[in-house]
């Protein structure tokens, strides 16, 4: 349920539908639901349930600390009027601490498959890792199996299109452990040439979670092609450690 709630979709899909599908796949049985007095259906095993109405009134939300550990923008958001609260016996209130590992995981984990899907449209994508330094949101490492000389560059553009908030992406070969930042950096220093293996894009839609973006919300983005050169013998590039 938490993972589904952290997802966002281009189509008008109810997160509860996704939660039910994930629950069925993981546990082999339907997600139990119950109906609130206002008619809204919620997970039956929820610790707390608040029900109410979204009003036509807007008010300031924030300031508060977000996933980067910095203070996010104050935004005008709809006011919710809570009509009731129910809870289980001896309930546990599960709070997410802003900017900590659980927050980053829940935000970043749903982005990896969308990036992988986008990259898979242009080349063979094996895996995607949202980096810890990128707060699980602003940076990723993409592993591909290269079958054409321009696959690395195509993967960069596809990955940035697959997650519009992302600011930096590194593309590596299938022999690199993308969850290990040391191995990713090793791939860069042994396979990447800054002057010809780098993509820099200006005036791109940025994330409000990036305090370095321009006042109009635009930012620059960068991609590093740290894959093996296409037209040389690869033997000298392979690690023997």
Q: How many CB atoms lie within 10 A of CB 227?
A: 26
Going by C-alpha positions, the residue among 117, 108, 173 that lies closest to residue 140 is: 108
Determine contact, residues 2/31, Cβ cutoff 8 Å: no
Q: At what angle do helices 111-120 and 151-162 cross, to 10 degrees?
A: 140
Q: How far apart are CA 119 and CA 178, in angstroms?
A: 16
pTM: 0.84
Predicted confidence (pLDDT) per residue in 26-58, tens digit: 999 999 999 988 888 999 999 999 999 999 999
Please say if the pLDDT value at position 235 is more than 80.
no
CB 187 within 8 A of CB 174: no
Give me the catalytic one of 66, 151, 173, 225.
Answer: 66
pLDDT tens readout for residues 136-164? 999 999 999 999 999 999 999 999 999 99
Cα dihedral 60, 213, 117, 142 sign: negative
Mean residue pLDDT across the chain: 92
| CA–CA dist 207, 181 (Å, integer) | 23
Q: Is pLDDT above 80 for 234?
A: no
What Å distances lie between residue 176 and 117, 166, 238, CA to CA?
A: 20, 21, 10
Looking at the predicted structure, is the pLDDT value of residue 183 above 90? yes
pLDDT higher than 80, residue 133: yes
Paired tokens of 107: 């935000």
- Report the pLDDT value the prediction gives residue 4, as an integer from 0 to 100: 86
CATH 3.40.1670.10 location in the chain: 103-237
Q: Where are the alpha helices (DSSP H) in the chain?
A: 2-5, 15-27, 101-108, 111-120, 151-162, 181-191
- Looking at domain 103-237, which of 3.40.50.1000, 3.40.1670.10, 3.40.50.2020, 3.50.50.60 is its CATH number? 3.40.1670.10
Q: Using a pLDDT cut of 70, give the percent of the chain over it.
A: 100
User: What pLDDT is recorded for position 42?
Assistant: 93
How far is residue 19's CA from residue 122's CA, in Å, rounded to a whole number? 30
Does 210 qualify as catalytic in the annotation?
A: no
């Amino acid at each position: 349920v938490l993972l589904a709630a952290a997802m966002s979709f281009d189509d008008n899909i109810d997160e509860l539908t996704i939660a039910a599908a994930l629950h069925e796949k993981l546990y082999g049985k339907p997600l139990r639901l119950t109906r609130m007095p206002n008619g809204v259906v919620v997970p039956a095993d929820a610790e707390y349930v608040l029900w109410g109405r979204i009003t036509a009134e807007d008010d300031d939300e924030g300031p508060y600390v977000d996933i980067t550990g910095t203070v996010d923008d104050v935004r005008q958001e709809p006011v919710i009027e809570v009509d009731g609260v129910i809870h289980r016996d001896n309930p546990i209130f599960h709070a997410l601490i802003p900017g900590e590992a659980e927050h980053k995981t829940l935000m970043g984990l749903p982005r990896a498959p969308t990036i992988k899907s986008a990259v898979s449209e242009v080349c063979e994508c094996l895996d995607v890792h949202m980096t810890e330094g990128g707060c699980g949101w602003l940076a990723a490492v993409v592993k591909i199996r290269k079958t054409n000389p321009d696959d690395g560059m195509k993967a960069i553009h596809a990955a940035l299109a697959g997650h519009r908030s992302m600011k930096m992406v590194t593309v590596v070969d299938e022999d690199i452990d993308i969850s290990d930042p040391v191995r990713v950096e090793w791939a860069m220093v042994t396979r990447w040439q800054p002057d010809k293996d780098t993509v820099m894009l200006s005036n791109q839609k940025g994330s409000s979670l990036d305090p370095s973006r321009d006042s109009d919300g635009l930012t620059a983005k960068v991609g590093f092609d740290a894959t093996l050169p296409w037209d040389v013998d690869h033997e000298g590039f392979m690690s023997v450690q």
